[in-house]
Chains A and B, each alone.
Chain A
Amino acid sequence: MSIDTTTAARVAKLARIKVEEADLPELANEFSAILGFIEQLNEVDVEGVEPMTSVTPQRLKRREDVVTDGDQPEAVLKNAPDAREGFFAVPKVVE
């Protein structure tokens, strides 16, 4: 499948990665090459085959629904680019 620049721009937007207008044609070409490679999968007969959800047959472990950790806001915020008064700070979200 050939990917056009409009599709490349839409995917970049969905992925929240800024791509300059001038870089879109090359990106679209790379997508086309990778998707062309992936399309070999269309040769496989997958009729009646279940999509894999877990590679090992075991059930996921469960635990009691209780608090096991917490009460360490300083450690949680330590690596934040911007933290104030015990919160992560971000640009204004609500108008």
Chain B
Amino acid sequence: MSDLSKLTISAARDALKKGEITSVELTEACLAEVDKADALGAFVHKTPEIAMEQAKAADARKDGGDLNGIPLGIKDLFCTKGVDSQAASGILKGFKPEYESTVTTQLFNDGAVMLGKLNMDEFAMGSSNETSVYGNAVNPWKPGDKELTPGGSSGGSASAVAADLCLGATGTDTGGSIRQPAAFTGITGIKPTYGRVSRWGVVAFASSLDQAGPMTKDVRDAAIMLKSMSGHDPKDSTSADLPVPDFEAALTGDIRGKTIGIPKEYRMDGMPAEISKLWDNGTAMLKDAGAKIVDISLPHTKYALPAYYVIAPAEASSNLARYDGVRFGHRAKMAAGDGITEMYEKTRAEGFGNEVKRRVMIGTYVLSAGFYDAYYNRARKVRTLIKKDFEDVFAQGVDAILTPATPSSAFELGAMKDADPVQMYLNDVFTVTTNLAGLPGVAIPAGLDDKGLPLGLQLIGRPWEEADLLNTAYALETAVQFVAKPSRWW
């Protein structure tokens, strides 16, 4: 069989089970693709020896599950034992964890193969993968002669899956970091309900918002990977002790009688006509599939991004206090007479990039004496109202909410270089609400714009009902029939 790396997880699983292919063949095919794709900047630490060892073990296993022998890429934010895990930051250069994150432990227990670590924005802070210490990840979609962003922060994951370097990848999402890059690269990504997936061993950005999730070639693959990643973990006190449903079994495509809400506040002033049309088309498709469409209002939507840019930096300033040059990573060279304070200040100035420094300092400011109430507490109150907006529409019988995933298609790398930081933050305008409300959100490809670039739609579900949400996404995917692929230039 040729083009093995192009397989979906479900197709590879079936072929592996029938003995038509081996994991060693599949893994070798992916490793060859990875080596040819350095121009994409997706894989930043390759682990071919680990991959081949895991592939051989998978082939020897008689009773492997759905992910047995499936080659995946792992975002650099996940700690992987003995393998560089530096959250794309200079401050963690050389850090090789002595432990394995819960998510990767569960994936490996289910037989998954790790091809390597994937590029991302530094500490997952960014929407274009341009804040990485490794350099940019590049979008495989390139209709013109300019290189485009794959989105961020999970830009390497999106690029690797869209370019068929791997069958699926892990991502993390604090304000849209799975869904925005998925939309920019024409793939599927789900951020589960807060607490569905353990955060243990995932480098923390904003602990009350961070969730890991799969980035895959279709909805079925997302269901398969999400099942393996989910579940209660005693090592994460916020992980939910709830049973994990068989998400794949829920994919019937039957959404008759479901109620889909269309929030009027997401129809922003100046929304490009293409995005508006994409959204209308998606709405019509869900209606054709038998869903009831209702107009809804989420009145505090406008305040989600400003609330996020208080809460996320506040939590980041606290989480990133651990990078002080004492226990791991970089320590600055000291001058004569320098004490411990100079060591901290120089280490953090050298180790952190500009966007990370900016957010840590904003977080420090909003938490500082005299401003805590005005900024941090006010943002947490607004967060309560944003969550209540969703609770109100769910109480009215809405099963899922359809929105665009991003306000535009992928933009050129470097295009935002001189813009003020707030312009970049606006990328997350449709995705950030679900992080604040703790809800599951899935982005799927829904069409191409006039430049030939993919555009995505987002579905937001009720808490803990990822199975139902994925089924609605599956029905939409079936109607959309998105089959476009980037032309190879790398």
Contacts and interface: CB of A to CB of B under 8 A. Distances in A.
B324 A16 contact: yes
Given A30-B421, A33-B420, A81 B325 contact: yes
A51 B345 contact: no
Contacts of A82: 331
Contacts of B329: 79, 81
Given A34-B421, A49-B385, A41 B379 contact: yes
A55 B437 contact: yes
The CB with the most chain B CB atoms within 10 A, among A30, A52, A78, is that of A52
A56 B194 contact: yes
A91 interface: yes
B361 A11 contact: yes
B191 interface: no
B98 A79 contact: yes
Given A46-B381, A55-B208, A61-B234, A79 B194 contact: no
| A interface: dominant SS | loop
B422 A37 contact: yes
Contact of B345 (A18, A54, A78): A18
Interface in A32-72: 33-35, 37-44, 46, 49-56, 58, 60-61, 63, 72
Contacts of B357: 15, 17, 19
A90 B326 contact: yes
Contacts of A88: 326-327
Give the one of B241, B307, B321 with max A CB within 10 A. Answer: B307
A12 B329 CA distance: 21
Given A44-B385, A81-B329, A34 B348 contact: no
Given A16-B345, A41-B378, A52 B387 contact: yes
Contacts of A79: 94-98, 327-329
B378 A18 contact: no
A41 B358 contact: no
A60 B364 CA distance: 26
Interface string B405-434: 000000000000000111001000000000
A93 B340 contact: yes
Given A17-B361, A46-B381, A79-B327, A41 B340 contact: no
Given A55-B194, A79-B329, A91-B343, A11 B306 contact: no
Given A51-B381, A80-B327, A14 B302 contact: no
A27 B357 CA distance: 10
Contacts of B292: none
A1 B150 CA distance: 34
Given A33-B420, A37-B422, A56-B463, A49 B381 contact: yes
Contact of A17 (B98, B352, B365): B352
A91 B334 contact: yes
B98 A75 contact: yes
Contacts of B11: none
Interface in B91-143: 94-98
B456 interface: no
Interface of A: 7-8, 11-12, 14-19, 27, 30-31, 33-35, 37-44, 46, 49-56, 58, 60-61, 63, 72, 75-76, 78-82, 88, 90-93
For the complex of A and B, the 3 pairs showing the least CB-CB separation, nearest first, are A55-B438, A51-B380, A81-B331
Interface of B: 94-98, 193-195, 208, 234, 237-238, 240-241, 300, 302-303, 305-307, 309-310, 317, 321, 324-331, 334, 338-346, 348-349, 352, 357-358, 360-362, 364-366, 368, 375, 377-385, 387, 420-422, 425, 436-438, 463
15 contacts: A14-B364, A14-B368, A17-B349, A27-B358, A30-B421, A41-B378, A42-B378, A46-B381, A51-B380, A58-B240, A61-B237, A61-B241, A79-B95, A79-B96, A81-B326
